Structure 1
């Protein structure tokens, strides 16, 4: 075959491939949902004062702009039973036209992981379109923070602490187990509807230890730190590529719980208690917040919302505005979001058994 014929055949093949690609793109676009004139209701199973509220309120106007037809996106708060009320409600929703979505948090994932009898929802029925990593910061009043010797919290072991707790099986088990490992005497006031309510207890002097997820800490606690009424104690940290706990990239100047534990008498960063804490930290924070479409969502709907969140991430100003509001954490779509969902809804049998027994001993909560 001559060089001319070969070149011509290659050219024809390239044209055909380009045409096929264009056809596939056009087909995908033709299946995108037109949401003009619609209102998307984004259910958040917490109060309007916490980190989930700040996360959803950050994304809602961006999502409205990115979805085809620019529908109105309204955040609806549905607190109760430590977030299981809102999650159970969403479980009963069947996909209709893409106007109902759900925002999950670690406090929704933990009851699912632990077999809380109030859980009537199943993540396997839902369709993830965004996963957001986050961190958490524990903080103290200045007079108590001054008792710490650098990262050594041993001097705080004689203090009586009060903490506003969303519930024993919620994300709050990460800080409460950490404080117990440090030898701190922390009494939980149970049943608050969101972490923002815990911060308000701290501000009113009704609690003297608290933690917030990164978005809520940045907006709600940073002003307290600047005013001298709160002092950061530690973060939960972040994970490096090898799964090791390292400093949180949003708060690189604040030590991690691991560092504080290593500096504090009686606290150990090995053994079953540490392994259980780390397992639930991983399940609760690197994939802490997720957006779902309900059971039965069409491929077109999943693609439409995924594309919208990808368009948000591609905005030239996204890194700056997201870091200021959410912190420096990955915002995941597609296969990365699916992988995050898997890590956020699974722990080892050993870690689960330890925490189930610990909850029974500490709070009298029976999950067996």
Structure 2
């Protein structure tokens, strides 16, 4: 089942699809190790703006040792978690303190990029001025507690009218994509705000404090799939992915799960349309088409940037990378060089109409202030 995206910002989507359709064909033509900046005997601090255990932390800890191996000089790469403010605390700190010497890097997620798009007052950083090294599209899976008594998405309508607890950082974060989806599916969600990240929300789910949750692919594969295997969680749907034609289709990592659009049609008997769905698509693209990003600070010298980008290419070119990454991160392309730059530029763009609609939605429904 496919959904026609006839109203989705065509120029922006076209640019995004060109990038996402590209394979990582830019490889050994880039700088040779001997011509690159050496990081021998150095220590790289990789800041993750969330607690341990979430999708961003999993992503960073997967790539950290690989960059240590492939950066010229093989520096030690240390992941440092700085949670708070739905990732804005760590991002603001990186904006203020990140040194432009190649030894400070920062990884973003949708919860870093969405407040930036919304003009959130907590944002003191400018992602577009940072230097992107690599970006990773990802997906997400929504799951519920087995005590709710449903076995799959086709039974989701049985939950309508029940108050479902959902752990959230805050509404103006990556959680916006989930909250809009739940709203379109007529679920009565009671959001419990104040979580340090999706990892904290998952732990609340495991403790029985919340009924419904979603996790990005890497965290789901590592932390939630074991719960599913033990009968402690029931997967319902994915957010889906964009294919080359700009249609939302099933996530290749979770081909047996329907995507949000399919579940909407199960419940309402028609394909999703309207402003709320169009805004959901906009933030889905902003939050998931380049969901994880690795950045160097503004002002970093060109040779340092080039060295990091060449190392990123070597990481994804190494033997067995595809198999290893799919086990941890899912079946998504790793974007480097121009692919990463162009995708991030597209993901960090929003129309004023969509921006104003979603700000009003967040204020009216969640008392959000900007």
Query: How does the TM-score come out when normalised to structure 2?
Result: 0.89
Q: CA deviation at 1:142?
A: 1.9
Residue in structure 2 matched with residue 256 of structure 1 by the alignment? 259
Does residue 111 (structure 1) correspond to residue 124 (structure 2)? The answer is: no
Partner of residue 200, structure 1: 203
CA contact (8 A) 1:276 1:350 kept: no
Q: What is the CA–CA distance in structure 2 between the aligned matches of 1:76 and 1:204, rounded to whole Å?
A: 26
SS across alignment from 2:154 = coil
- Aligned match of 1:9: none
Alignment of 1:1-368 (within 5 A): 31-93=35-97, 95-144=99-148, 146=150, 151=154, 153-265=156-268, 269-367=272-370
Summarize deviations over 1:7-26 as a string: whole Å, max 9, x none.
xxxxxxxxxxxxxxxxxx99
Q: CA deviation at 1:192?
A: 0.6
- Structure 1, residues 179-231: CA drift from partner, whole Å, max 9, x if none? 01111111111011111111111111000100000000000000000001101
Q: Using the TM superposition, give the Cα deviation of residue 29 of structure 1 relative to its aligned residue in structure 2, in angstroms.
A: 5.3
Aligned length: 342
Superposition RMSD on alpha carbons, in Å?
Answer: 1.7
d(CA) in 1 for partners of 2:140 and 2:362?
21
Shift of residue 158, structure 1, vs aligned partner: 1.7
CA spacing shift, 1:277–1:308, aligned 2, 3 Å: same
Structure 1 residue runs of 5 or longer lacking an equivalent are 1-24
Task: State how far apart, in whole Å, the 2-side matches of 1:336 and 1:36 are.
Answer: 28
Task: Report the secondary structure of 1:328's partner residue.
Answer: coil
In the aligned structure 2, how far is the partner of 1:35 from the partner of 1:354? 47
Seen in structure 2, the aligned counterparts of structure 1 residues 54 and 28 have a Cα distance that, compared at 3 Å, is closer
Change (3 A) 1:291 1:153: same
Larger CA Rg, structure 1 vs 2: 1
Whether the aligned pair in 2 keeps the contact of 1:195 and 1:212 (CA below 8 Å) is yes
**Unmatched 5+ stretches in structure 2:** 1-28
